[in-house]
Amino acid sequence: MTHEAAGAPPTTTTGVAVLADIAAATATRSLWGDALHRLTRNRLAILGAAVIAVMAVAAVFAPLVSPYPYQQIFPGKIIADPTLAHPFGTTLAGQDTLARIIYGARNSLAVGVFVQFIILVIGVAVGGGAAFGGKRLDGLLMRFTDIVYAFPDLLFVIMLQQVLSGTRLGGYMGGLFVVFLAIGFVGWVNLARLVRGQMLSLRERDFVIAAEALGASRIRIFLRHLLPNTLSPVIVALTFGVPSAIFTEATLSFIGIGVRPPLADWGNMIYDGYGAVLATPWPIFFPALALAITFMSFQFLGDGLRDALDPRTR
Amino acid sequence: MTGYLIRRLLWIIPVLWSITLITFLLMHAVKGGPFESGETKASTAARDALKAKYHLDQPIWVQYRYYMEGLVQGDFGPDLATQGLSVNELLSRSWKPTVVLGVLTTIYATALGISLGILAATRRNSVIDYLSVGFATIGASTPNFVLGIMLVLVFAVKYKLLPAIYPSDGLTDWHAWVLPVIALGSLPAAYIARLTRASMLEVMTQDYIRTARAKGLREGAIVLRHIVRNALIPVITAIGPIAATLVTGSFIIEYFFSIPGIGRAYVQAILARDYPLIMATTLLYALVVAVANLTVDMLYAVIDPRIRYS
């Protein structure tokens, strides 16, 4: 304050007025409003968010949006090139590619969202527990995290998927539910470390010590100070986690683990199209494009969120 | 530093032991044993005899004890699917292609990623910058199996320059490795390029770079000795996990190009419920991950003298 006053021009009244203006302008926007403002100015991030929104709407209302049912077979139209009736062509089984891509978006987005939800729950519980549960619990949880981290993740996902699909969960959502669980159970490690590290370093920060000195309760400090400040890196990590979960699911279904035909899935569409790749590239081209566009959209949104939520790192 | 290294090395032992325990329990939770699939059409008596031979009729903790007794002597046990070969023999055949693929891919991804990142950062907002950012964006959004398909279509099918399937003498034939390495390494290369560029741009704004310019150092010396050296610290920490995932994640590329490596053996082992082979490959991979992370932590201290482990 004194520093600003010293640098202010002789007409102090205008200086004070400007300061008041700045205060008024910043007071109307909260931390989140500020971040939203920064995010909306990032064109790539908005583009990414818009693409994701369109995909989500198409996935939810697939029966209304899709030109045909995904399992409908058009006899005599096997791996047909794109035409007006079938803008993305047809598959090896004679199904409309566009319809299968729209229905496949359901799987991909569901994987993205549910896996991140599992990761969020386990990651915050383990990370927060380690940061707050005392030395002993911290040691125990972090050793456990080390062990899960050492598992080769994609291979562990395959094994878990095999274990779980033998149980009653196996038939749930056409095998997709088991894939969520497997990817989620392996993927929380980095988030747990992030949450723990963030909370431990926040606890040493001046504003938390000040709150403690003012007599704020542990719960209040946790809810008002630690949680909101941990939330931004967590949101960013989850956003970047979505496309990698989608890739993992597509990889699994490409090698024939996970979602099986006749259910539509981008990974198994690519595998399917590979069987006819010498005849035509279209059955592979469109699902691969869908995967790439989805990945890029989440990447752009993640970049935008990171810049918006933490303006110090660029 | 030495004490820290020894403690970290010793810590690998309980981690690996926990992994044997978890993997063992998980494997036995999978429905169906190795001799219950349709592949081996043995009679009930013969199946019982086989089960007895491999202790599969014993309680699970007895089986685990048998397994661990062998393991501490370096014996991964018999291979149940081939019957007659030991897992050790099987692994001694398949580790070489996996290691060659992992090493070549790591070199490719690191060299390409770092050079692109440096080029982009030093020529910011030029055509080179846009091209390499474009490569990084597209490369990072293409799954490796899709890239593999595209490469095979162009270079193997259309122009017939490189083989689409691993040849029998693949280990000594460089042609065999070009497509798998590009397919597997381009995504991490794109990631490394992004990371290098961001890190370079950040270092370039530091005061000591301005000081270096002010004292009249040549631009080349500033870039190499000051910027690159400092900018690579976060990149190197990222290379460890990347190298580990390259080795453990290579199974999809091994599967796709029919490379007879450990990854392909793992997938086949899981599908055949071949317990000892699953266990051995999981342990090997876990060891690779642990060693890669440890190496990076050590490298980190060598590059950045501010970091001290105790």
pLDDT for residue B308: 67
- Sort out which chain A residues have CB atoms less than 8 A from B26's CB and list them: 159-160, 163
For chain B, residues with pLDDT lower than 50 are: 38-39
pLDDT for residue A85: 81
Question: How many angstroms separate the CA of residue B198 from the nearest CA in chain A?
Answer: 8
Contact state of B286 with A162 under an 8 Å Cβ cutoff: no
- Sort out which chain B residues have CB atoms less than 8 A from A295's CB and list them: 140-141
Chain A interface disruption, residue of B13, B16, B141, most A CBs within 10 A: B141
Helix H or strand E segment including B199: helix B175-204
Question: How many angstroms separate the CA of residue A221 from the nearest CA in chain B?
Answer: 32
Contact state of A162 with B30 under an 8 Å Cβ cutoff: yes
Question: How many angstroms separate the CA of residue A285 from the nearest CA in chain B?
Answer: 9
- Sort out which chain A residues have CB atoms less than 8 A from B22's CB and list them: 147, 151
- Sort out which chain B residues have CB atoms less than 8 A from A270's CB and list them: 145-146, 149
Question: How many angstroms separate the CA of residue B302 from the nearest CA in chain A?
Answer: 24
pLDDT for residue A165: 75
Contact state of A284 with B146 under an 8 Å Cβ cutoff: yes
Helix H or strand E segment including B247: helix B229-248
Contact state of B146 with A270 under an 8 Å Cβ cutoff: yes
Question: How many angstroms separate the CA of residue B152 from the nearest CA in chain A?
Answer: 10
Chain A interface disruption, residue of B10, B28, B146, most A CBs within 10 A: B146
- Sort out which chain A residues have CB atoms less than 8 A from B248's CB and list them: 152-155
pLDDT in tens, chain A (314 residues): 334 444 444 444 555 666 666 555 555 567 677 788 888 888 889 999 999 999 999 999 988 888 888 788 888 777 778 888 888 888 887 888 889 999 989 888 998 899 999 999 999 999 988 988 888 999 899 888 888 888 877 777 888 777 777 777 776 777 788 888 888 988 898 899 889 988 888 888 888 889 989 988 888 888 888 888 888 889 888 988 898 888 888 888 887 777 777 778 888 888 888 888 788 888 888 999 999 999 999 989 988 888 888 755 44
ipTM of the complex: 0.78
- Sort out which chain B residues have CB atoms less than 8 A from A247's CB and list them: 143
Instruction: Round to whole Å and give the CA distance between A255 and A267.
Output: 9
Instruction: Round to whole Å and give the CA distance between A124 and A230.
Output: 10
Contact state of A154 with B249 under an 8 Å Cβ cutoff: yes
Nearest to A158 among B19, B22, B270 (CB): B270
Task: Kindly identify which residue of chain A lies nearest to residue B139, measuring between CA atoms.
Answer: A292
Chain B interface disruption, residue of A44, A154, A271, A297, most B CBs within 10 A: A154
- Sort out which chain B residues have CB atoms less than 8 A from A155's CB and list them: 248, 251, 266, 281-282, 285
Task: Kindly identify which residue of chain B lies nearest to residue A250, measuring between CA atoms.
Answer: B143
Nearest to A155 among B15, B29, B266 (CB): B266
* DSSP character string of B171-193: GG-THHHHHHHHHHHHHHHHHHH
Contact state of B30 with A247 under an 8 Å Cβ cutoff: no
Alpha-carbon dihedral angle through residues B243, B193, B132, A296, given to the nearest 10 degrees? 80
Q: pTM of this prediction?
A: 0.80
Question: How many angstroms separate the CA of residue A242 from the nearest CA in chain B?
Answer: 12
Contact state of B137 with A162 under an 8 Å Cβ cutoff: no
Rg (C-alpha) for chain A, rounded Å, is 25
Task: Kindly identify which residue of chain B lies nearest to residue A156, measuring between CA atoms.
Answer: B282
Nearest to A150 among B29, B32, B290 (CB): B290
pLDDT for residue A126: 93
Instruction: Round to whole Å and give the CA distance between A97 and A106.
Output: 15
Contact state of B249 with A160 under an 8 Å Cβ cutoff: no
Contact state of B16 with A152 under an 8 Å Cβ cutoff: no
Enumerate chain B positions whose Cβ falls within 8 A of a Cβ in A: 11, 15-16, 18-19, 22-23, 26-27, 29-32, 137-138, 140-143, 145-146, 149, 153, 157, 202, 245, 248-249, 251-252, 255, 266-267, 270, 278, 281-282, 285-286, 288-290
Enumerate chain A positions whose Cβ falls within 8 A of a Cβ in B: 146-147, 149-156, 158-160, 162-163, 166, 243, 247, 250-251, 254-255, 270, 274, 277-278, 281, 284, 288, 291-293, 295-296, 299, 314
pLDDT for residue A43: 87
Question: How many angstroms separate the CA of residue B149 from the nearest CA in chain A?
Answer: 8
- Sort out which chain B residues have CB atoms less than 8 A from A301's CB and list them: none
- Sort out which chain A residues have CB atoms less than 8 A from B24's CB and list them: none
Q: What is the 3-state secondary structure (H, E, C) of chain A?
A: CHHHHHHCCCCHHHHHHHHHHHHHHHHCCCHHHHHHHHHHCCHHHHHHHHHHHHHHHHHHCHHHHCCCCCCCECCCCCCCCCCCCCCCCECCCCEEHHHHHHHHHHHHHHHHHHHHHHHHHHHHHHHHHHHHCHHHHHHHHHHHHHHHHHCCHHHHHHHHHHHHHCCHHHHHHHHHHHHHHHHHHHHCHHHHHHHHHHHHHHHCCHHHHHHHHCCCCHHHHHHHHHHHHHHHHHHHHHHHHHHHHHHHHHHHHHCCCCCCCCCCCHHHHHHHHHCCCCCCCHHHHHHHHHHHHHHHHHHHHHHHHHHHHCCCCC
